[in-house]
Structure 1
Amino acid sequence: MILSKIKFRKSVIYLGLGLIFTGIFLIRADAAAIRRIDGPDRYQTSLNVADHHKSDMAIVVSGKDFPDALSAISLASKHKANIILVKPSSDVFEHRKFAAELLNRKIKNVIIVGGENSVDRGYEAALLKLFQVERIEGSDRYDTSLKVVERVGNKNLCIADGRNFPDALSTSGLVAKTKTSLLLVDGRKKLEFLKDYRVLYTVGGKNSIINAYGKRIAGSNRYQTCNQILSIIDPKNLLIASGRDFPDALSASSMASMIDTGVLLCSARVDDNAIEQSANRDNITVVGGINSVSGLTINSIMDKYNYSYSASNDVGFDTESQTYRFSNASIFKGWLYQASRSSYGYDKFYYNEEGILERDKVVSGVKLDADGKAILDDDGRPVIN
């Protein structure tokens, strides 16, 4: 009887150890993967997002000015389309080149959001030769936004202030999951809505929109407002982009229409909030380079939650050619700050006119300021490019 008890206890111990070790391996096998999608500029980044998010429709918006561009979020959600940014250019070659980029991605239909001051008529002329093209424009940013809402045809609204971009950028996951339309408004004014429209969410505090319509979602700053949206939609996946500018987060919002996801706005420094919000996700996609979402933030997420990094189709260093290549195979030239495990978080590398790393110019231990620019080396001296 005693022997049986001993055997039983040993069996329980072995079983427990087996479950523990199995659990460890399961956790490692099932851990989220992190990938980064970026390019040499905001325009190529939006095209690279389209390479990861297949759709036969493109929503074309300005990559320089945010008001009309933000209105595209509702269209992207309805049509599961990519939002693609264009340069403010009147160059015919640039227009044709952009049209070719869309053709290469098997786009069939294009909707341009905004007037000529947002997206040059030359783009429209070039696109009309290859695609079905529609332009949505109004007398101002608010009228354009209303016309987009009418085009979408959804009567339930999510409103955000059209004078700034952060609150609106946070809404893409909410718009997709609740099947609402994003309407930009002038938050300083008392708002009147057409009879058939109903506001479900007001995104932003009283400094953004004075009066609340429907449920107000607001935090102490843009990042906390974003957190509240994430808590409402509780997404399995996460898109991380800079909250300091609009282009990368807008490009990321395309992907919110396809998968159960939310956009998390991130600051330039090591972002404790981004690290905390990244827990228990299936997959995390970072949109933008290391000067937008720091490598140290991503390293911290990986270390804390044992997430893996997916390097496929991302930027990376080619050891054979000693070059740093983007996902479109273009070569980086100039100074580049890359995440390191040093106390300062970054190392500084110089790639010459041929795009080849000059190892004698590598600076170890570089500190970045709040804007992602290098300010100090490991001896506390200013770093000058």
Structure 2
Amino acid sequence: MKKLVGLAVGLTMLFCTAAPAYAKTTYNVTRLAGSDRYETSAKIAASFQSGNLNNIILASGRDFPDALGGSVLSRKYNAPILLLDSDVNNDSNAFDYIKSHLSTSGNIYVLGGTSSISEDILDHIREMGYGNAKFTRLGGSNRFDTNKSIINSLDAKTGTPIVLVNGEGFADALSISSVAASNGYPIFMIKPDSLPSETKDLISSIKPSKVYVIGGQASVSDSAVNELKSQLPYLNESDIQRLGGTTRYDTSMSVCKNFNLNSNSAVLANGTNFPDALSGSALASKLNAPIILTDGTDISSQKDFIDSKNYRNIYLLGGLNSIDLSVEYLLKDPSVVPQSEKDYVNSLKNYCEYYENETSNTADELSQTYDNASSTMSELNSASTVDEMLQYLDQMVQVLSSGSSYLTTYKNNLTTLKNEVSGLSIPDGMEVLNNQYLDNITTQINSVNQSIDYTNDCIDILNSIKDGINTKNEEEIETGSQKLQDLSQEINNISIQHGDSGIYDLYIRLTDALNNLNQE
């Protein structure tokens, strides 16, 4: 109970948090998202091109290395990138897309070895009616060998500029992917401190006229760059350009500003979630659009860049946990948001406030209960007679009973809120918001039940001690005292705030979104 005393102040601070303000310039915003990375991949592919295709690229959705260089391949073959799971039973979205769009005599490019995409999966595709399709596997013994195989398939001309990225991370490669694809620049994955043996000779054979190094020293160190200089001594200092920043988002902005692709579209992706951006790199290259990485919530620097361009269309890759609703609403014209969606967001925000009110009121009640319990305990410890001890034990039972009653009322009120939110009509794609509320209020209800059980156990033990005193049963008194002592060891594990932070976070998400939507 004591842990709730300062809750009201914390609630006030949290619920008064204001979103940062940006100038309101709106765009045609399209979110491409599914229930998981594989459905999202299929939806991104569906936006790649209407009608039939002659080429498709398959890559593993479980890891990023194989697909990092796929964007340049996508541009060359006009092919979307589909992510696959290792289990054929989880790939229905990709299979449905293939059946709907790929010619039965088309080309299927497979990135990675059999540990990435098994022959069983390819056999399943053949059995779908693609026995006459041409399957080309571009793989190797490791990520660098696979990278070499992909670059070889590009057949880059002598003098073509190349791109160096850290092969042990994905963010920098994603930032440059659409730029490299638009210009036909091979993307070489290297080690942070050296050039891998698998691709050194290939770099020399291309004889690049320029090299772009993506990322800061932590991504690609000077030792790796110096090794490149030794291998390509004809390059001048100006022929090697590093595009980096303090963070992956700074690097992304550096790439966007340097190349300044001429497009009416831009693609936003989460910089910590590689699958969406891997699939999106194909779409971005198709649109000749930059991929702009964001943390999913703060787009202050990205918004400044976007507003400085002539973009009309913004594509958001992934659901609300990848790119938050506040970002979508900051970029979107309020007039195109359905009223039913606005009503839902407002309703859910109100339910967050109802939760806060219930929790705050209960915190006040339990704070007074805690004060009464502390006072009664002090008097009990100073009792000098049996009658006084019984009197204060009675008072303690009454105090705890009132606390249990408050908690029970609180639990019932939370259950009502949970049931009402469960019955809301949820717009497509916003299930994650509803689930955040329901998951956290369920956690809170479970915590309250635990607190009620703990309080009732205390009451039962105190009543047992009272009975022992009245009957002069020393064994019962001793047993009750030991149980009370044992129970006191559990007090630090008892809290009814376990669901608070999730609902407060949801409140902030919804408030920021509505503020951005209504911003002039």
Task: Give me the TM-score of the superposition, normalised by structure 1.
Answer: 0.71
For residues 81 and 97 of structure 1, do their structure 2 counterparts lie closer, same or farther at Cα, with a shift above 3 Å needed?
closer
Task: Name the CA distance, whole Å, in 1 between partners of 2:165 and 2:194.
Answer: 13
- Among 29, 37, 58, the alignment partner of 1:34 is 29
CA displacement, residues 211-269 of structure 1 (integer Å, 9 cap, x when unaligned)? 33521111111101110111122233210010012001111111122223100111033
1:174 equivalenced with 2:277 (yes/no): no
- Counterpart AA for 1:60: L
Answer whether contact 1:59 1:83 (CA < 8 A) is retained.
Answer: yes
Q: What residue in structure 2 maps to residue 203 of structure 1?
A: 214
Answer whether contact 1:278 1:301 (CA < 8 A) is retained.
Answer: no
Q: Point out the more displaced range, 47-56 or 136-145.
A: 47-56
Answer whether contact 2:436 2:502 (CA < 8 A) is retained.
Answer: no
Q: What residue in structure 2 maps to residue 151 of structure 1?
A: 153
Following superposition, the deviation at residue 150 of structure 1 comes to 0.5
SS in 2 for 1:336: helix
For residues 309 and 46 of structure 1, do their structure 2 counterparts lie closer, same or farther at Cα, with a shift above 3 Å needed?
farther
1:273 equivalenced with 2:301 (yes/no): yes
Answer whether contact 1:162 1:184 (CA < 8 A) is retained.
Answer: yes
Residue correspondence of structure 1 range 212-361 to structure 2 within 5 A: 212=225, 214-235=240-261, 236=263, 237-279=265-307, 280=309, 281-302=311-332, 322-325=425-428, 336-337=432-433, 348=436
Following superposition, the deviation at residue 348 of structure 1 comes to 4.8
Following superposition, the deviation at residue 323 of structure 1 comes to 4.9
Following superposition, the deviation at residue 336 of structure 1 comes to 2.0
Task: Name the CA distance, whole Å, in 2 between partners of 1:325 and 1:126.
Answer: 31
Task: Name the CA distance, whole Å, in 1 between partners of 2:276 and 2:500.
Answer: 21
Percent identity reads 23
Answer whether contact 1:73 1:182 (CA < 8 A) is retained.
Answer: no
CA displacement, residues 127-148 of structure 1 (integer Å, 9 cap, x when unaligned)? 2341321111111100100110
- Among 101, 111, 114, the alignment partner of 1:113 is 111
- Counterpart AA for 1:113: L
Q: What residue in structure 2 maps to residue 104 of structure 1?
A: 100
Paired residues, number: 310
Answer whether contact 1:111 1:133 (CA < 8 A) is retained.
Answer: yes
Following superposition, the deviation at residue 36 of structure 1 comes to 0.6
Following superposition, the deviation at residue 73 of structure 1 comes to 1.9
Residue correspondence of structure 1 range 176-191 to structure 2 within 5 A: 176-190=181-195
CA displacement, residues 87-143 of structure 1 (integer Å, 9 cap, x when unaligned)? 121x4x556774343111235321010011111221111223413211111111001
**Alignment RMSD:** 3.5
1:127 equivalenced with 2:152 (yes/no): no
Following superposition, the deviation at residue 49 of structure 1 comes to 0.8
The structure in which a higher percent of residues are strand is 1
- Counterpart AA for 1:298: E
SS in 2 for 1:138: coil
Following superposition, the deviation at residue 289 of structure 1 comes to 0.5
Answer whether contact 2:270 2:323 (CA < 8 A) is retained.
Answer: yes
Task: Name the CA distance, whole Å, in 2 between partners of 1:252 and 1:83.
Answer: 8
SS in 2 for 1:76: helix
- Among 52, 64, 77, the alignment partner of 2:62 is 64
- Counterpart AA for 2:43: N
The structure in which a higher percent of residues are helix is 2
Task: Name the CA distance, whole Å, in 2 between partners of 1:220 and 1:374.
Answer: 34
Unaligned runs of 5+ in 1: 1-27, 312-316, 327-331, 339-346, 352-360, 362-372
1:88 equivalenced with 2:184 (yes/no): no
- Counterpart AA for 2:191: D
Task: Name the CA distance, whole Å, in 2 between partners of 1:336 and 1:350.
Answer: 10
Task: Name the CA distance, whole Å, in 2 between partners of 1:310 and 1:259.
Answer: 25
Following superposition, the deviation at residue 61 of structure 1 comes to 0.5
CA displacement, residues 159-190 of structure 1 (integer Å, 9 cap, x when unaligned)? 21101110011112211232211121113215
SS in 1 for 2:125: helix
For residues 81 and 147 of structure 1, do their structure 2 counterparts lie closer, same or farther at Cα, with a shift above 3 Å needed?
same
- Counterpart AA for 1:181: P
- Counterpart AA for 2:100: N
Answer whether contact 1:32 1:308 (CA < 8 A) is retained.
Answer: no
- Counterpart AA for 2:433: Y
Task: Name the CA distance, whole Å, in 2 between partners of 1:76 and 1:242.
Answer: 21
Q: What residue in structure 1 maps to residue 352 of structure 2?
A: none
Answer whether contact 2:163 2:187 (CA < 8 A) is retained.
Answer: yes
Q: What residue in structure 2 maps to residue 194 of structure 1?
A: 204
Task: Name the CA distance, whole Å, in 1 between partners of 2:258 and 2:336.
Answer: 27
SS in 2 for 1:194: helix
Answer whether contact 2:72 2:178 (CA < 8 A) is retained.
Answer: no
CA displacement, residues 48-81 of structure 1 (integer Å, 9 cap, x when unaligned)? 0111111432110010111112121221121221
- Counterpart AA for 2:184: K
1:165 equivalenced with 2:170 (yes/no): yes
For residues 290 and 185 of structure 1, do their structure 2 counterparts lie closer, same or farther at Cα, with a shift above 3 Å needed?
same
Pick the structure with greater CA Rg. Answer: 2
Following superposition, the deviation at residue 37 of structure 1 comes to 0.7
Answer whether contact 2:269 2:291 (CA < 8 A) is retained.
Answer: yes
Task: Name the CA distance, whole Å, in 2 between partners of 1:266 and 1:58.
Answer: 28
Following superposition, the deviation at residue 374 of structure 1 comes to 8.8
Residue correspondence of structure 1 range 7-26 to structure 2 within 5 A: none
